[in-house]
Structure formats: C-alpha cells, structure tokens
Amino acid sequence: MCHLICRYHQCVFISVHSWKQVVGPVWIAVIYVNQVAYAVSLVAEGSKMDETSECFSLSKLNVRHLVAIILFALATNVQYKTFAYLASLRRNKAGHVVTTNYKPPNAGMFQQLNLSSPHYFAEIVIYFAVLVAMGTNCLTWMTVTYCVACHMTYLAYVTHQYYLDTFSNVYPKHRNIIIPFLF
C-alpha cells in the first residue's frame, strides 16, 4: 500500500508527462488489473489469520523483515529522487513546466548509480524487498517479482537504446542499463 501511495504521488504531483507518449485505455486497464492482481497475491500468500492469532506483533519481526524494510526504504528513495530529477529537466527554476520534450538525464541517481534507468532498478528492488519480507515459500510473489524484473529490464534496455540513439553526442556510452556496475 505504501508503494502504491508513493507511486500515485509521484505520478500525479511530481512527474511531468510527455504528451508524445500517450498510453491508451486498454494499456491503463492492463496496468490496473496487474496492480489488483499483485495486491490479491499478497493477501492470498500473506499470514493466515484466525480468531486466535494477533493482527500484528513486533515480536514476530526478525532480521529478514529489517532487511526488507531497509531495501524497500532505500529503493523508494531512489525512485522518488529519480522521478523528481526527471521532472526537473522539464521545469524552470520557479517550478513551472517549460517543456515536455525528452532531455538526456546526466545527473542525480542516473550519475550516482551510473544507470540509464535507476527508477526501474528501484522498482525491482521494491518488489524483491516484499519477497524478502514474505519469505521464499511464496511462489506467487516470486513469480510476480520475476515478471516485474523481466518487464523493467526490457523497458530499461529500450530506454537505454533510446538515450544512446537520441542523445548520441551527450549521453554517456559507458552507462549501465539497469544493474549498477554489471548490466
């Protein structure tokens, strides 16, 4: 829920969307169906509740949960900073939108992580963090995480190629696609 609220806030209040890339109603419906399916899979594979079990107890938290919370928080921060930076490329110093054209991202998380798509990397880490919190016996969420990772990797590859083709004279050719220091 926290992730969905953050993403909604980023999409509505931070991002500056390009009108050149209009997503049709069918694609929007697919996205919403996916999000509902992800939420249902979390509920279906989450802790089972009955009359005798507690709703939440700090005593049930362990190192795995702490690692998941830290990963989730770090990735959410990377994603937020990336969207804020991308939006800043389309705004003036007063915060007013001056263009919806694409500009080469050469600072912020793009430079710090040396990635073409740090926001896609962060999305994968967020889903992985939920998997860590749930444990590895959650086959449905493992599948969701794998599908999200494949989809984000594909989008990152396409984005990387777009940046190299469109901004060939200013975009760093040594930048990785989606995994820092590897790919």
Q: Is residue 22 part of a domain?
A: no
Tens of pLDDT, residues 119-156 = 999 999 999 998 998 887 788 888 889 989 998 999 99
Q: Is residue 46 part of a domain?
A: no
Q: Is residue 32 part of a domain?
A: no
Tens of pLDDT, residues 55-87 = 556 667 789 889 999 999 999 999 999 989 998
Q: Is residue 28 part of a domain?
A: no
Beta bridge partners of 100: none
pLDDT at 27 over 70: no
Q: Is residue 181 part of a domain?
A: yes
Q: Is residue 37 part of a domain?
A: no
- How far apart CA 136 and CA 114 sit, in angstroms, is 30
Q: Is residue 95 part of a domain?
A: yes
Q: Is residue 167 part of a domain?
A: yes
Q: How many domains does the chain have?
A: 1
DSSP string computed for 147-166: HHHHHHHHHHHHHHHHHHHH
- Per the structure, the complete domain to which residue 145 belongs is given by 1-17+62-183
96 class by beta-carbon count within 10 Å (0-12 exposed, 13-18 middle, 19+ buried)? exposed
- How far apart CA 157 and CA 117 sit, in angstroms, is 9
Question: Which pLDDT score, from 0 to 100, does residue 136 have?
Answer: 74
On whether the CB atoms of residues 115 and 121 are closer than 8 A, the answer is yes
On whether the CB atoms of residues 78 and 113 are closer than 8 A, the answer is yes
